[in-house]
A and B are shown apart, each in its own frame.
Chain A
Amino acid sequence: MAEIPEHLLRRSAEAKAKTLGVPVEQIMAELGGESVPAAAPAAAAAAPTAPAAAPPPATPTIPEGVRTQRMLTVVKAKAIQGAKRKPTDKVNVWPHLLAIEFVALLVVMGLLIVFSVYQDAPLLELANPNEQPNPSKAPWYFLGLQELLSYFDPQVAGVLIPGLGLAGLALIPYVDRTRSIRPTDRKFAIMMFTFFVVASAILTIIGSFYRGPGFNFTFPWRDGIFFDL
């Protein structure tokens, strides 16, 4: 039978003695008696003086069917192997994602080239500061704001609304504190965002196609389109 190292026996006995409130020697004797019946007195006696006094034989003979392990301590499963992250279903970026991205890139590139071959970018006559075309329109992404200018004071429509809009957009994650990403839990946030997106889209479309000379209302099918990209 394999010898249990002296210091481990001693530590185990001290711990046991502390919980039971009995002297260490008594426990040591019991422990020794349990594990190594033959060498019990010798081990208990030699404990404080010479741990290596009796070296075990080079190849101890273990009888068949004798268990040589001994439980020293119990470690709860979560203490060392508790996984913090749930394993997720993942795929390799190559080829799965890169192939899709490459096709998407080719499709957009192809559409853009075809469109560019058939549709030239506009180039009107040379800029002339003395001759303002009627109507004068901002680039299309500002036409929603230009549309607002005809309803509100310039300071409100030109500065306040875009400034607050941009700041509000940036602050969304700090205002919307719902942690869930399920659409059913976010009805209010989705409703508000959709409202502003649709409103700005409608304003942009009105400003682009339904405003003619003098930025007055027109119908594109009646008076033509006053819109350049």
Chain B
Amino acid sequence: MADGNDSGNGRTTLGERLSGVGERIRASEAWESIFRPGSPFRKGYSDSPRNRSYVVMNNVLYHLHPVKVKRHGVRLSYTLCLGGLSFFLFILLTITGIFLMFYYRPAAPEAYIDIAALSTDVAFGQLVRNLHRWGAHLMVITVFLHMTRVFYHGAYKPPREFNWVVGVVLLFLTLLLSFTGYLLPWDQLALWAVTVGTNMGGYTPVFGDQVSFVLLGGIQVGGPTLLRFYVLHVLALPFIIVIFMAVHFWRVRKDGGISGPL
């Protein structure tokens, strides 16, 4: 097979051999089993309406979008990409968060020691922690701005009422994620910010003390609170928010895509 594409002098050059390997890989059953028919990775991309559709249809991430959207919806000034950027920030926070988990122990003094060591002992540790923190603050802002954008476009009106409710839940979960993460560095800022925040939960009428106790794992913010907030922050809340995000994105499509034009 290697001698199949001989050049003029009867010898195959290295370049021909290499391109032959590429072609054979692309023609193999394994390659075709990975990339669906029409994928640019099979035959290459040439611009045609058909291929434009295939780009969206043959990629699991792009498939969040329909093949076509209303023309006014792609104008940057209409959405400012706020919903998409919130989702992007969530992915960024997941990736940087997993990185941080490798160097972090959710125990009372160790957490602080680990975070302090992160900035000096770990390659890019400080940068990743900065990205995680600033990205989290930015996500709270983009989610909030996304909500105001949706309100001013009247995009919560039928048939999109329920998706607005899902969005409010997502905003609440975003705040909870940010708040539980706030405690994890276990410095004075974290401890007292969370103490002030959770004190409000204690004012719940009738069963305020019970709410406070469940939230803190004790009567004040301490080691058990740190472990509790850690599990909420890295596992429980992301699990819940991903479910709500899936419903949110799905309903955007099912309710007819982008709203408007105004």
Give me the interface of A with B, judged by CB distance under 8 Å.
88-98, 100-101, 104-105, 108-109, 112-113, 115-117, 119-129, 131-133, 136-142, 145-146, 149, 154-155, 157-159, 162, 166, 169-170, 172-174, 176, 178-183, 186, 190, 193, 197, 228-229
Contacts and interface: CB of A to CB of B under 8 A. Distances in A.
Contacts of A131: 188
Given A93-B56, A121-B134, A136-B196, A197 B189 contact: no
Interface in B157-197: 157-158, 160-161, 164-165, 168-169, 171-172, 175, 178-179, 182, 185-193, 195-197
A-B complex: 3 closest residue pairs judged by Cβ atoms: A181-B154, A116-B130, A158-B200
A173 B178 contact: no
Interface of B: 49, 52-53, 55-56, 62, 65-71, 73-74, 76, 81, 84-85, 88-89, 92, 109, 112, 115-116, 119, 126-127, 129-135, 137-138, 140, 148, 151-158, 160-161, 164-165, 168-169, 171-172, 175, 178-179, 182, 185-193, 195-197, 199-201, 203-205, 220-222, 259-260, 262
A190 B200 contact: no
Nearest to A170: B168
What does DSSP make chain A's interface, helix, strand, loop or mixed? Answer: helix
Contact of A154 (B127, B132, B200, B259): B200
B144 to A, nearest CB: 8
B164 A94 contact: no
B151 to A, nearest CB: 5
Contacts of B158: 173, 179
Contacts of A89: 70-71
7 contacts: A104-B76, A124-B189, A126-B186, A136-B192, A170-B168, A179-B158, A183-B152
Given A92-B52, A137-B193, A173-B156, A159 B69 contact: no
A112 B134 contact: yes
Contacts of A157: 200
Contact of B130 (A119, A159, A180): A119
Given A181-B153, A181-B259, A190-B152, A120 B126 contact: yes
Contacts of B65: 93, 97-98
A216 B109 CA distance: 32
Contacts of A112: 92, 131, 134-135, 138
B138 to A, nearest CB: 7
A108 B157 contact: no
A189 to B, nearest CB: 8
Given A93-B68, A169-B168, A119 B134 contact: yes
A154 B55 CA distance: 55
Contact of A129 (B157, B171, B222): B222
Contacts of A105: 84-85, 88
B260 A181 contact: yes
Contacts of A125: 187-188
Given A127-B112, A170-B165, A228-B189, A93 B69 contact: yes
A142 B153 CA distance: 27
B85 A104 contact: yes
B184 to A, nearest CB: 11
A129 B221 contact: yes
Contact of B55 (A94, A120, A149): A94
Contacts of A93: 56, 62, 65-69
With a 10 A CB-CB cut-off, give which of A128, A146, A159 has the most chain B CB atoms. Answer: A159
Query: Which one of A101, A131, A229 has the highest number of Cβ atoms from chain B below 10 Å of its Cβ?
Result: A101
A98 B69 CA distance: 11
Nearest to B190: A127
Nearest to B127: A116
Contacts of A141: 140, 175, 178
Contacts of B155: 181
B85 A146 contact: no
A181 to B, nearest CB: 3
Nearest to B81: A104
A197 B171 CA distance: 14
A131 B151 CA distance: 44
B205 A159 contact: yes
Contacts of B199: 158
Contact of A116 (B66, B134, B204, B222): B134
A139 B193 contact: yes
A96 B68 CA distance: 10
